Chain A
Amino acid sequence: MTSLLERAALDRRKLLMDRSRSGRIGTTLPPLDVPEAQLPEPSLLRDDLDLPEVSEGEIVRYFSQISQFNFSIDHNFYPLGSCTMKYNPKLNDEIASIPGFAQIHPLQPVATVQGAVKLVWELQEVLNEITGMAGCSLAPMAGADGELAGLLMARAYHLDRGDDKRKNVLIPDSAHGTNPASAAMAGFNVVTLPSDSNGNTDLDALRDSVSDELAGLMITLPSTLGLFDTNILDVTRIVRDAGGIVYGDGANLNAIVGRVKFGDLGFDVIHSNLHKTFTQPHGGGGPGAGPVIAGPRLVDYLPTPVAGRKTDNGEETFSLDAPSNTIGRMGAFHGNFGALVRAWSYIFTLGKEGIPQISEDAVINANYILSELKGYYDLPYDRTCMHEVVFAATNLRREHGVRAMDVAKRLIDYGIHPPTMYFPLVVEEALMIEPTETESKETLDYFIDVMKQIAAEAAADPEMLHEAPHNTPNTRLDEARAARRPDLRWRRQE
């Protein structure tokens, strides 16, 4: 019996090429209905195309079976700090799949896609309003793509003014790794800015860092510590007075959406990860969308296209335009329209009443977790948090040799996705927890009970935690081996 059980387990993981049987096919097409043309000379053609041969039913069963090895937001709670994994409304997917949206071609004459461009324009307008900015391009295809766009805009702005010395971008030590990488791609030097003991920007360090070489500052608000920087008005003023651009990473927009506007605080340009705050299925890692939204100083530099509207005797016409000083194109077409439709759907379903409720509930939920778990885990910054709370498993490590990783892996046994770990880098053994507004008090209570129980387990049976998770298809993986001996594709066994 055991061998058959083993075979079942192995078969489930067998790759497509190993399932292939000559002669099978998963789909067919109509026969050719025109005369055959002469084929090109054989030297241009390939004689092998080694792709799997499997039937449709086999494809469905294979992918359905391995799909069960995943956690997903439709099945599990994902308290992932700064990643904002919230429920994805089904309505969004339905609207995005309407043929008039899903089937249109990006190069159709603009007169034939007025509805699509109108939707883009409406989304631009509402994002401008929510963030307090002047203009928006929906072209960037992910948060990091929006960062790159915003920084290229800052670069172009300085160069246009003959300010070619401005090479330094200040980035707090708690920033997402994409910030320094984007700044480097945009040709800037990265200067790291420390936080003070309260988790705010260290104003003295900031004053020491500004000069006529300052291109700008890139800051996440609230920070990746889950804190609203109470120095923010001083920060933006100091940078702007020095001639720098203030860039806002919108990764944590969920905390303040409908409460406070970036534009009012002195930001020049931000991006919004639409897939986070305004919902987009994460897809196991994309696609997303990362519109870049600019204030008056940078609005003319936005990437192309930007949707425009003209009214003539009550007749609206929409266009796709290039801003006067555009940095150019971020992608071949108009951005991830499918993602934009979903964000549009989410925003207009919530409306002016629901948008402020996002931040309200996200912040209540995070502070509830903070207050209930305080004392069980260390709290490096004991302040009211925003939408996420950063705990540290330093007490468990010190007392029982249990690390943040062990806590995270043990949560899996309870059906909860681990929080963001070891980030931000400025907190040792960090566990960064973001419940989002779409989780109920009951779910949070369960999570809180589990976290308390894991703290107790750490004292009683640390070894059991080191070996967690216990009920997944695989135990902990040898990641070092994967990197040392890269095995990155199927190969035919010799």
Chain B
Amino acid sequence: MASTEFQSPYVPNTYPDRRAMLDAIGVDSIEELFADIPDGYLNYDLDMPSARNELDLTRYARELAAMNRTPGDYACFLGAGSYRHHIPAVVRQVAGRSEYMTAYTPYQPEVSQGTLQTAFEFQSLICQLTGMDVANLGMYDGSTSLAEAALMASRITRRHRAAVVESVSPLYREVLNTYVQAPGIDIDTIPASADSIPDETACVIVQQPNFFGYMEDVDRLAKLAHDAGALLIVSVDPVSLGMFRPPGEYGADIVVGEGQALGVPTTFGGPYVGLFACKQDYIRQMPGRIVGRTVDTRGEEAYVLTLQTREQHIRRERATSNICTAVALIALMSTIYLASFGRRGLRHVAELCYHKSHYAASKIEEIPGYSVPMDGTFFQEFVMKCPSSPSEINEKLLDYGIIGGADISAQVSNGMLVCVTEMNSRDEIDNLVTALTEIGGAS
């Protein structure tokens, strides 16, 4: 019997409590309750460390954290799908309220109106931001939103090809490949300048701004898709929508994107929230959780999970998706973020990113050996061509207290994707320029 004198701080029952309960149950020992486990398979001999108290574990966690070089301590120019923006204190404070943080999925609406009403707010604000008719309560992340959108387009059009513009994030395209392998959707990679797509294409998928930070000619792609009977799926950076035209204006059918940029820390890649919005007509094919407004038996307005007949707990193998989580807490953070900045504030954030990144690009262009090879309008990220391997340059930049941009030499030879947001002060940008100048092309 494993019963030791150990008393976990998370378990209230003591040995006398357990004894009293076993007596009430009518068994002599705990083993009797595990009697259904086949003989010889009970095994409590775990090869793992002994319990650590709060003080010791915190010390150890801080040691591990100290092994990481932390943006904030370092100037950081990384983006490529995860963005550092200022998060107002109110976001963490309010979303951290235990009434939100430790609540269950709102299947019992009478005791979940807080969660449900904030979910309705999220759906509303995402519609305002994207210019779309309806939004769900979020997917796991931006990449899975994109993959689910492709599956949804295939259900709607009953077609089994997806045309993906080659400037969509390579990581997102990898996730798309994982998701479409079993349903048998063929992926065609097309240039943004394509003037035709294969027959029977369900959707054209474009990222705006694209993986390299630049604006695509989405009007042309919308026409290309719609003329061929395909849907246009646009993956957006929501902060860019603070200043750039929303997808609803250029005919997007489904809009997806990474919601992390709206008030969520980068946290080494997750948890994030995948945005998902579409036209009204497609609502019953939309995956994920949706909250609707209705009335109670007294006629008072209230909110409830709705359209659940699409969902796995009713339709099982015919469900629109297996998704059973909504990342509701992260959606709440984004809601508070959007409310904090509001109509003018988000525009301000976007413009800061725009001007600062352009300032950085103009300074980098002046450094001998470096260049900004792509033309066109960019938002907050741009490609810098380095005189030598970007990973070597990044290693040297660490000595200057700088975490450089993403190494995209797989896409652009000696390419580095540089991201500049409002988090990067002029000093940081100038220091980057100085450091790059000093590092030069030496390897």
Sorting the interface of chain A by its residue count into under 10, 10 to 19, 20 to 34 or 35 or more gives: 35 or more
CB-nearest residue of chain B to A360: B30
CB-nearest residue of chain B to A113: B68
* A145→B321 CA distance, assembly (Å): 11
Q: Does B213 contact A (CB under 8 A)?
A: no
The answer to whether B403 touches A112 (Cβ under 8 A) is: yes
CB-nearest residue of chain A to B119: A284
The answer to whether A49 touches B25 (Cβ under 8 A) is: no
Q: Does B394 contact A (CB under 8 A)?
A: yes
* Also in contact, A88 and B102, with CB within 8 A (given A30-B422, A364-B18): yes
* A37→B106 CA distance, assembly (Å): 47
Contacts of B322 in A (CB 8 A): 144, 147-148, 178, 181-182, 184-185
* A99→B68 CA distance, assembly (Å): 10
* 10 more CB-based (< 8 A) A-B contacts, given A51-B128, A115-B64, A178-B324: A15-B117, A34-B426, A64-B94, A70-B112, A71-B104, A185-B182, A351-B51, A384-B36, A412-B108, A487-B294
The answer to whether B184 touches A187 (Cβ under 8 A) is: yes
Contacts of B426 in A (CB 8 A): 33-34
The answer to whether A141 touches B178 (Cβ under 8 A) is: no
5 A-B pairs with C-beta separation under 8 A: A103-B72, A105-B268, A141-B325, A228-B36, A347-B48
Give the contacting residue for B21; candidates A49, A53, A368; CB below 8 A: A368
Question: Which one of B84-92, B159-167, B198-206 is at the interface?
Answer: B84-92
The answer to whether A349 touches B52 (Cβ under 8 A) is: yes
* A383→B425 CA distance, assembly (Å): 66
The answer to whether B4 touches A477 (Cβ under 8 A) is: no
Question: Which one of A205-213, A393-401, A426-434, A435-443 is at the interface?
Answer: A435-443
Contacts of A437 in B (CB 8 A): 10-11, 13
The answer to whether A100 touches B65 (Cβ under 8 A) is: yes
Kindly provide the distance from the CB of B356 to the nearest chain A CB, expressed in whole angstroms.
6
* A356→B47 CA distance, assembly (Å): 12
4 cross-chain pairs, A with B, having the tightest CB-CB distances, nearest first: A333-B269, A100-B65, A283-B329, A187-B182
The answer to whether A142 touches B104 (Cβ under 8 A) is: no
Kindly provide the distance from the CB of A143 to the nearest chain B CB, expressed in whole angstroms.
7
* A16→B118 CA distance, assembly (Å): 10
Kindly provide the distance from the CB of B55 to the nearest chain A CB, expressed in whole angstroms.
10
Give the contacting residue for B266; candidates A29, A106, A303, A361; CB below 8 A: A106
* Also in contact, A345 and B61, with CB within 8 A (given A105-B84, A186-B182, A384-B35): yes
Contacts of A28 in B (CB 8 A): 345
- Near B by CB (< 8 A), chain A positions 66-114 give 66-76, 78, 80, 83, 85-89, 91, 93-95, 98-109, 111-114
CB-nearest residue of chain B to A233: B38
Kindly provide the distance from the CB of A214 to the nearest chain B CB, expressed in whole angstroms.
17
Q: Does A464 contact B (CB under 8 A)?
A: no
- Near A by CB (< 8 A), chain B positions 52-74 give 52-54, 57-58, 60-73
The answer to whether B169 touches A332 (Cβ under 8 A) is: yes
Q: Does A252 contact B (CB under 8 A)?
A: no
CB-nearest residue of chain A to B98: A74
* Also in contact, A27 and B101, with CB within 8 A (given A16-B121, A98-B62, A332-B141): no
Kindly provide the distance from the CB of B302 to the nearest chain A CB, expressed in whole angstroms.
4
* A398→B422 CA distance, assembly (Å): 65
Q: Does B429 contact A (CB under 8 A)?
A: yes
The answer to whether A178 touches B312 (Cβ under 8 A) is: yes
Give the contacting residue for A228; candidates B37, B78, B347; CB below 8 A: B37
The answer to whether A328 touches B65 (Cβ under 8 A) is: no
The answer to whether B43 touches A177 (Cβ under 8 A) is: no
Give the contacting residue for A331; candidates B144, B302, B321; CB below 8 A: B144
Q: Does A259 contact B (CB under 8 A)?
A: yes
* A25→B336 CA distance, assembly (Å): 12
The answer to whether A284 touches B43 (Cβ under 8 A) is: no
Give the contacting residue for B78; candidates A50, A107, A287; CB below 8 A: A107
CB-nearest residue of chain A to B377: A40
* Also in contact, A477 and B304, with CB within 8 A (given A105-B403, A284-B105, A287-B330): yes
Give the contacting residue for B268; candidates A44, A101, A287; CB below 8 A: A101
CB-nearest residue of chain A to B138: A286
* A418→B293 CA distance, assembly (Å): 22
The answer to whether B71 touches A105 (Cβ under 8 A) is: yes
Contact with B along A34-73 (1 / 0, CB 8 A): 1111011001111001111110100110011011111111
Contacts of A481 in B (CB 8 A): 294-295
Contacts of B398 in A (CB 8 A): 112
* A432→B199 CA distance, assembly (Å): 51
* Also in contact, A25 and B323, with CB within 8 A (given A181-B312, A441-B13, A488-B291): no
Q: Does B223 contact A (CB under 8 A)?
A: no
Q: Does A8 contact B (CB under 8 A)?
A: no
Q: Does B282 contact A (CB under 8 A)?
A: no
- Near B by CB (< 8 A), chain A positions 283-300 give 283-289
Contacts of B61 in A (CB 8 A): 95, 98, 101, 341, 345
The answer to whether B99 touches A72 (Cβ under 8 A) is: yes
Give the contacting residue for A63; candidates B37, B84, B118; CB below 8 A: B118
Q: Does A17 contact B (CB under 8 A)?
A: yes
Contact with B along A1-33 (1 / 0, CB 8 A): 000000000000101110010001111111011
* A364→B28 CA distance, assembly (Å): 12
* A475→B61 CA distance, assembly (Å): 46
Contacts of B97 in A (CB 8 A): 63-64, 67
The answer to whether A177 touches B104 (Cβ under 8 A) is: no
* Also in contact, A412 and B111, with CB within 8 A (given A30-B422, A34-B359, A328-B177): yes
Q: Does A337 contact B (CB under 8 A)?
A: yes
Q: Does A124 contact B (CB under 8 A)?
A: no
Q: Does B437 contact A (CB under 8 A)?
A: no
CB-nearest residue of chain B to A141: B140
Give the contacting residue for A107; candidates B80, B143, B336; CB below 8 A: B80
Q: Does A339 contact B (CB under 8 A)?
A: yes
Give the contacting residue for A368; candidates B24, B98, B266, B395; CB below 8 A: B24
* A141→B172 CA distance, assembly (Å): 15
Give the contacting residue for B8; candidates A335, A339, A354; CB below 8 A: A354
